[in-house]
């Protein structure tokens, strides 16, 4: 593909990004911090205790995506440190998997970064890469690097997406997790948890207005092929999968139910 498109072609960056995400997902599935195995253990513990705490899931509809209990998993990081160290000492595979994901994602980052001014779409992909890089650093407990990457990804997304975007809530929430794990950063962690809560509340307000027929559909400026508006930009332009106009009543009702659970969890986090 490099011979056909060139080393710096956008197609190559997309391939690196997709491959890096696949490596990250595989590495997470083998780890015990945010992987499915621990999510199932946390779910089992809740069922035994009769708890009904909602899981946090920021992407897609509740009926389609498998939610992840980030609060419960983050709280168990310290309990699993000895076990993880033993696994890495035996084979070193988890660390190698995350290193491979980091290297490929960093290649995608470098390519997208060179072309981020060409379109909002490329800038958004760059933001997504930074969030994934933050996930790698969070998993490998390189918290300072995770903070840097999450902050960069969030900054880019704030330029492109409205406050009510679930992606904004997710970025603030991930920052709150890693800051909570960093010495002396509790106040910053609470600040980002509050912003995640505000984002969720904004999304809920939009959904409720839409279901009641009171939603105001804003007319966005017509964009040119490169993603730039014809006139001065008036705030975030990209909506993508967050667009409520493309949702059915059933989908909106499902998301409202899910977000109510997220709101309760975030409220506990900041209280």
- Domain presence at residue 250: no
Q: pLDDT tens-digit profile of 152-174?
A: 999 999 999 999 999 999 999 99
- Domain presence at residue 255: no
Q: Which residue has the tokens 């409205």?
A: 162
- Domain presence at residue 40: yes
What pLDDT sits at residue 95?
Answer: 74
Q: Which of 41, 24, 23 is nearest to 32 (CA)?
A: 41
Residue 60 has pLDDT above 50, yes or no: no
Domain count across the chain: 1
**pLDDT more than 90, % of the chain:** 50
Q: How confident is the model at residue 245 (pLDDT cuts 50, 70, 90)?
A: confident
Is pTM beyond 0.85? Reply is no
Crossing angle of helices 93-114 and 10-30, in 10° steps, is 160
From residue 123, how far is each of 15, 76, 182, 210 by CA, in Å? 16, 34, 28, 29
| Stretch 27-56: mean pLDDT | 54
| Stretch 141-151: mean pLDDT | 96
Give CA–CA dist 69/122, Å, rounded: 30
- Domain presence at residue 6: yes
- Domain presence at residue 139: no
Q: pLDDT tens-digit profile of 172-208?
A: 999 999 999 999 999 999 999 999 999 999 999 999 9
Q: Are 174 and 134 in contact (CB under 8 A)?
A: yes
Comparison of pLDDT for 134 and 95, the residue scoring more:
134
- Domain presence at residue 156: no
- Domain presence at residue 97: yes
- Domain presence at residue 204: no
Residue range(s) defining the domain that contains residue 7: 1-53+65-120
| Stretch 145-155: mean pLDDT | 97
Phi, psi of 182 (to 5 degrees): -100, 135
Burial tier of 204 (Cβ tally within 10 Å: 0-12, 13-18, 19+)? middle
Give CA–CA dist 213/45, Å, rounded: 41
**What average pLDDT is seen over the chain?**
76
From residue 136, how far is each of 13, 21, 22, 27, 146 by CA, in Å? 18, 10, 12, 9, 8
């Amino acid at each position: 593909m490099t011979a056909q498109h060139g080393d710096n072609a956008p197609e190559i960056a997309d391939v690196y990004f997709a491959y890096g995400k696949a490596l990250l997902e595989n590495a997470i599935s083998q780890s015990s911090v945010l992987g499915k195995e621990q999510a199932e253990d946390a779910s089992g513990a809740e069922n035994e205790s009769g708890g009904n705490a909602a899981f946090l899931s920021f992407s897609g509809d509740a009926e389609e995506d498998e939610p992840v209990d980030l609060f419960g998993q983050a709280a168990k990081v310290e309990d699993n440190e000895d076990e993880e160290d033993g696994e890495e000492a035996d084979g070193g595979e988890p660390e190698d998997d995350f290193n491979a994901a980091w290297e490929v994602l960093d290649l995608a980052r470098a390519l997208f970064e060179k072309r981020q001014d060409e379109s909002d779409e490329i800038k958004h992909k760059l933001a997504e890469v930074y969030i994934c890089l933050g996930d790698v650093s969070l998993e490998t407990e390189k918290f300072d690097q995770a903070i840097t990457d999450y902050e960069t990804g969030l900054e880019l997304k704030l330029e492109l997406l409205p406050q009510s975007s679930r992606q904004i809530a997710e970025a603030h929430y991930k920052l709150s997790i890693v800051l909570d794990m960093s010495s002396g950063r509790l106040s910053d962690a609470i600040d980002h948890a509050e912003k995640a809560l505000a984002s969720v509340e904004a999304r809920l307000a939009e959904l409720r207005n839409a279901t009641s027929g009171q939603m105001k559909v804003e007319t966005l400026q017509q964009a040119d092929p490169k993603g730039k508006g014809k006139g001065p930009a008036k705030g975030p332009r990209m909506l993508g999968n967050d667009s409520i106009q493309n949702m059915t009543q059933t989908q909106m009702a499902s998301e409202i139910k899910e977000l109510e659970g997220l709101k309760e969890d975030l409220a506990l986090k900041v209280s």
